[in-house]
Structure 1
């Protein structure tokens, strides 16, 4: 910018300040008083940015938001959870919404293309799908490398055993149980126990520490609204509703706040570690930023290894579902023809209690 234009810009800024203080705006007189071009002052007063302002002035994200945005992408990339374009657009809108809650931010179709042009360090690549059997055939070296990083993170952040948690979701068909083992003298006799099955889907979100402490579970129902009677038999369980019965970005963000509140007072060290899979709801900007602010270290499992490495999946949820099946059978014996959402919610506390007894009982 030339020294002459710089001087004009300074006078225009002072002229705009003066216009704000006037009871009756007079742009022409103000332009004469401050010796600035009338049309330029009028355009600036009507909201047009100066062409001499920093280049980011007409961008959606300011420099601080751009940096936080890049940090979020890098965080996911370094953990092997590279984000998709739709996630980037959704996060940009969310970031703008947080900075201006009263406005409804809009991002055009070409915004991402322009953003990538400004950041040539990022490239778009096609993620190829592999045959599921190839994905399941995990390389032992990959798993060993993950355990090495896991131990290094524990050492670096001083994670205490009580501050180490695993977080996962599991699904139930409310009235569908598993087959039960029985003892009989006649192995050829066909033995069945029937009821009118309820195949409505429900998700239960659990977090458990290495010393057996568990946070209040989040139960997600596939309905449009809550009913007061559902809360009658609950102890510390939380209920949420979605159209699908699955967790989403908003519920994941609300859950991590519940987790932080539930574990804050029992924290022994400075950081807590939360082991989880790379599901998209756990990778949003809000979720990760909250964890960083509250000193919750997210540690992601390698892709497609939950069946091998996810502690809740491997060691807990099968037993969980066993006691769910027993609850269905007990209700059937007493004459229940359809195990409903109300029955499931009434039984969930006892199911979790039996689960805890199973794992706390001494092994024979």
Structure 2
């Protein structure tokens, strides 16, 4: 790697706000201090535009797109800008490129960081953070007159084909003490299959999408033999990792979400709540939503375990139901039959139908304060933590 680029990478690896010296870094890598400063600050340009990651016109387009997202109340994160730039360049770009890009456009762009907090401060500040989240969410719902049948939450859940989740079992005491039997029979297949799920606050689920591990988009007939047209409403695709990617995310938006919810578009905007996963925040994904009356609302980072209906209420019982179905299958076969991808759907479909029912789906939106709108469903937890913390502190502080 170019020594100047190595030096820039070291600078970028530091925490935001950490002091550093161009002189010290330049000396360490044996390079000129002024050249390093210019390159890091984005002031040095190559003589040949072909060597640029993005052509200047593309950079100008990206600056304008960031402004457009801000006007829609969707200011992008650095990771999102990295993703956008990679799409324009046709190849991945580094995190340090994002920093240099921001430094090249100080009149148009500004970046603000939050500093790391202790566990106690995180708890204390979470209430304020979530209060802001609910204010933005409820203001948006009021502005666009969002109705219950227009509120959706989408997320992904991964399954390991032959692995059971943790559960309490009854063991023979002597065998347990001899460590001869300490776990239930498993098939052992760790191949990933991802389920893309979406639910509506009126209690209806959209058709699930299954992503098998395989060549992009190719699906073998043996994987889907159990799926019967007219009986099962499910979409199937594949990716090398078994996880979602940009293409699958956009295909889901157009082929599943738009197809199954477009009837609502004539009566108002649809609100789609999701996390900040890379496949959800591509330029194509965002623009399609904007063009089709779909309001995107991204949950705050590291908060889906508290704020997202699917995470808070739905996915745990789904995982438990799948483990129970898998356990029954393994008991029936006595572990003699290897588990294949074709076995997944019957086990999953039974689990899905037992969990994704209207009462539980409605409860998931209620538990997260989204619908009926009730921020106190979440904020009261932090008020109690703050009260307990204050009480504990007063008891531990001796009188003066």
TM-score class, shorter-chain normalisation, is 0.5 to 0.7
Alpha-carbon distance change, 89 to 79 in structure 1, aligned in 2, over 3 angstroms = closer
| Aligned residues of 2:152 and 2:271 also touching (Cα < 8 A) | yes
Aligned residue in 2 for 1:332: 330
Aligned residue in 1 for 2:349: 349
**SS of corresponding position for 1:316:** helix
Q: 2: distance between equivalents of 1:136 and 1:227?
A: 48
Q: Of 84, 89, 92, which residue of structure 1 is paired with 2:85? A: 89
| Aligned residues of 1:163 and 1:269 also touching (Cα < 8 A) | no
Alpha-carbon distance change, 59 to 148 in structure 1, aligned in 2, over 3 angstroms = closer
Q: 2: distance between equivalents of 1:148 and 1:122?
A: 25
Aligned residue in 2 for 1:166: 153
**SS of corresponding position for 2:356:** helix
Deviations 1:150-172 (A, max 9, x none): 11111001100011011111111
Q: 2: distance between equivalents of 1:153 and 1:322?
A: 35
What is the Cα deviation at residue 330 of structure 1?
1.4
Q: Of 213, 217, 222, which residue of structure 2 is paired with 1:222? A: 213
Q: Does 1:194 align with 2:173?
A: no
Aligned length: 292
When normalised by structure 2's length, the TM-score is 0.62
**SS of corresponding position for 1:139:** helix
Q: 2: distance between equivalents of 1:153 and 1:324?
A: 36
| Aligned residues of 2:202 and 2:358 also touching (Cα < 8 A) | no
Alpha-carbon distance change, 198 to 129 in structure 1, aligned in 2, over 3 angstroms = farther
Alpha-carbon distance change, 84 to 178 in structure 1, aligned in 2, over 3 angstroms = closer
Aligned residue in 2 for 1:25: none
Aligned residue in 2 for 1:318: 316
Of structures 1 and 2, the larger Rg is shown by: 1
Q: 2: distance between equivalents of 1:126 and 1:214?
A: 37
Aligned residue in 1 for 2:45: none
Alpha-carbon distance change, 194 to 111 in structure 1, aligned in 2, over 3 angstroms = closer
Aligned residue in 2 for 1:53: none
| Aligned residues of 1:174 and 1:200 also touching (Cα < 8 A) | yes
| Aligned residues of 2:146 and 2:270 also touching (Cα < 8 A) | yes
What is the Cα deviation at residue 122 of structure 1?
1.7
| Aligned residues of 2:160 and 2:192 also touching (Cα < 8 A) | yes
**SS of corresponding position for 2:344:** helix
Aligned residue in 2 for 1:74: 70
| Aligned residues of 1:201 and 1:221 also touching (Cα < 8 A) | yes
Aligned residue in 1 for 2:224: 231
Aligned residue in 1 for 2:52: none
Q: 2: distance between equivalents of 1:323 and 1:199?
A: 18
Deviations 1:257-309 (A, max 9, x none): 12111111245731000111112221111111000101111111111111111
Structural mapping, 1:79-228, within 5 Å: 79=75, 81-83=77-79, 86-93=82-89, 117=104, 120-123=107-110, 139-181=126-168, 190=176, 192-224=183-215, 225-228=218-221
| Aligned residues of 1:136 and 1:304 also touching (Cα < 8 A) | no
What is the Cα deviation at residue 117 of structure 1?
3.8
Deviations 1:154-205 (A, max 9, x none): 10011000110111111111111123346x7999985853133211112111
**Structure 1 unmatched runs, 5+:** 1-57, 95-103
